[in-house]
Amino acid sequence: MARARRRSGRTQTEKTPDTVGATDDDAQTQPAQENGNGEDNGSGERDEDDTCPACKDSLRVEGEPIIAADKEQWVRCDACKTWFHWRCVGEGGDLDTIGKWFCRPCLDADPARVITMKPPARKSSRKKMQRDYAGLNAGNEADPSRFLRMMEGKVIKRDPFARMPGSEVGIEWLESDEGAMKEPILVETEEGLGMKMPPAGFTVDDVVEALGEDYPVEVIDVATQSNTPNWTLGKWLEYWNTEPLKRDKIRNVISLEISGTPLADKVLPPRIVRELDWVEKFWPNTKKGRGHNYPKVQLYCLMGVGGAWTDWHIDFAGSSVYYHILHGAKVFYFIRPTPANLAAYERWSGTEVQNHSWLGDMCDEVFKVELTTGNTMIIPTGWIHAVYTPVDTLVFGGNFLHSYNVPTQLRVREIEIATHVPKKFRFPFFARLCWYAGEKYLRDLKAKEEFSPRVLDSVEALADFLVAESRTIERGADPAKRQAKEEIPSDRIKDAPALARELRWRVRHAAGYASDDDARSHRKAKGAVNGDGSANGTGSKRKRIALDEDGLELFRNFKRASWDRVEERPTERESRVVKTRRPNTKSREWVREWVGEDVKEEEDGEEVHVERKRDVIVKVRKTAKGLERHRVERVLENWVWHAAPSSASSSAPNSKREPVADAGQIAEDRPPPAASSAERTDPDTVMHEAQERAPAPSTAKEDAGPVTVSVGS
């Protein structure tokens, strides 16, 4: 059955809005448009006076057409394809409820034919949601201002982020500042950043001229946060140049990648981006450029009109971003990528709740940053952000992965997998890029190149990821195994599982871990994203790590190496008489004086006999970096007033001291045994000396304990 609504055909040559605007969305089309000349494709032809075979002769006036309704409804027989007025054959029924329809002659000719009705519309109880996988989340309410209404009354804090001169944003800053690249930074002018941007007068017209009007572009409908298909730069330029009040919708362009185009010659990312970017550092130059597939994410042109909003999102794979306002303005809203906030984002993303809720209500705090013409912002790994465009704005920016927060990059990738983001909208060639990075770091570690602890933590996370990929290759299901194998760059890597495991072993050795268990306990204890909380977002108690007196971690199951030589020197004894004031033992004040290094002699004091005994033990052994020498000296003094020196020396209590160890090893919780060839210690300590002294008691019957205990090297 075909049906159509049409205006009366009194003047057949005049086009009406209904005939011009007819689309394929209607299940039926006008009979006059079935073919190019206005004839029906079926057997029946309509009269030019808009009559149908069912029109009653009594209504006809000789020589004049029937006066049709202002908007006529037509229906076509599904058997003979003849068109009829619905008012002539419908018998007062509703045409919208008809499924298949047959005219009376066709029904009489075949009794098997039956007019059917459309089934009632089924209302599903399932939550329906249209998602845009370009990193944004769609809503059902087609109102672009609803996002701003959501913010009304919300607590939004002024940002605490650093404003830095461009000349200070470099590798030296990263290596010297523990907080570098953990929070967004704002550079007010491009001076010193080492980047190149188009001139200030560069406009969207120039973008179109450089790329061509037929260049395809993805355009976002802000109201639904979804892509609008079939747009070209020429069509976008026409929309851009339309007066704001006459634009049909609020639209936004955020994913126009320009690598390899004439426009790319006008843009050079900041120096720090080029120095950190994995694609720049690790992807082979022979496999970049025209004719090669590689991650093209470093050069984007963004064009947003006033009123545009980009809803909460994290850039793919947690990649960092540089963002330069050529002209216009942007307002950023940021949420820290803490484990709890990332978990909240994962629950919020792609669900019905995002259509009517403000993500900031599910997180700890939201910060607001305003950017204007000439400002540049660098957004670090994993920061959740939304962006408002108050005026028409042209921006150049890009994404990059780096070695200063790989754990968070991998965490965001897990969120993308959990929320079923299609691979098309994830970081391109992510796993292959990780293999290239892992291969280069393995070569560097073999060459004894040194890295900061922060980079070593990231390389260890990278190695764990590559080992997991290797296990998929070795034991995974066939589709996953095949996919993991395809990501390995065979031009550089011949045995991927061996490379991954060697990289993990070498990076743990470089970090000072003695075993895989030690490394795992270290990661659990660290368990942080951008330095806060546990990696899985559930919150876990930080494991207490034993430290020696040098602040180095002690690890379980470590067995010390034996001493090469232990020498105990003969005991030295000395007896003398001195004058000093007798301590007042009824008060505790005397203790402060007698725990000092030396006790002062006083001419007007009482005579006191002092008996002194000195024992010395020296231990030495070779280590990986040199030698280790322990010198233990114990001095026992007995002070006796108005009495002969005591012949029996009381023993000072044994002092307990943890042996020295460095990171990567753990000492058993026991005091070091006396001179014993079986005693063991850490092989990487260069040299330690320990001295212990014990003062004599104030009387012959009371032992005052050791005077001093000192450690030197």
Q: Is the pTM of this model over 0.75?
A: no
Token pair for residue 489?
């760059």
Model confidence pLDDT, tens digit, residues 512-565:
876 555 555 555 555 544 544 444 344 444 444 444 444 444 444 445 667 888
Q: What's the CATH code, domain 2-109? A: 3.30.40.10
Neighbour count for residue 658 (Cβ, 10 Å) = 16
Q: What is the pLDDT of residue 524?
A: 52
- Answer whether residue 66 shows pLDDT above 70: no
pLDDT for 478: 83
What confidence score (pLDDT) does residue 656 get? 39
- Helix H, strand E, coil C: the string for 511-575 is HCCCCHHHHHHHHHHHCCECCECCCCCCCCCCCCCCECCCCCECCCCCCCEECCEEEEEEEEEEE
Structure tokens at 21: 């605007």
Q: Taking a C-beta distance cutoff of 8 angstroms, is the pair 618, 629 a contact?
A: yes
> What CA–CA distance (Å, rounded) separates 654 from 634?
10
Domain 430-512 in the same topology as domain 2-109: no
Average pLDDT, the chain: 77
Query: How far is 511 from 529, CA to CA, in rounded Å?
Result: 19
Residue with more model confidence, 527 or 456: 456
What type of residue sits at position 388? Y
| pLDDT band per the 50, 70, 90 thresholds, residue 697 | very low
123: helix, strand or coil: coil
Domain ranges of the chain: 2-109, 146-425, 430-512, 561-712
Using alpha carbons, select from 85, 15, 22, 78 the residue that is nearest to residue 50. 85
pLDDT for 240 beyond 50: yes
Question: How far does CA 666 lie from the centroid of its chain?
Answer: 33
pLDDT of 627 > 80? The answer is yes
Q: Is 363 helix (H, G, I), strand (E, B) or coil?
A: coil
Asked if residue 63 has pLDDT above 60, the reply is no
What CATH architecture does domain 430-512 belong to?
Answer: Up-down Bundle (1.20)
CATH node for 146-425: 2.60.120.650
What confidence tens digit (pLDDT) does each residue in 126-166 have? 334 444 444 444 444 467 788 888 888 899 999 999 999 99
Residue 503 has pLDDT above 80, yes or no: yes
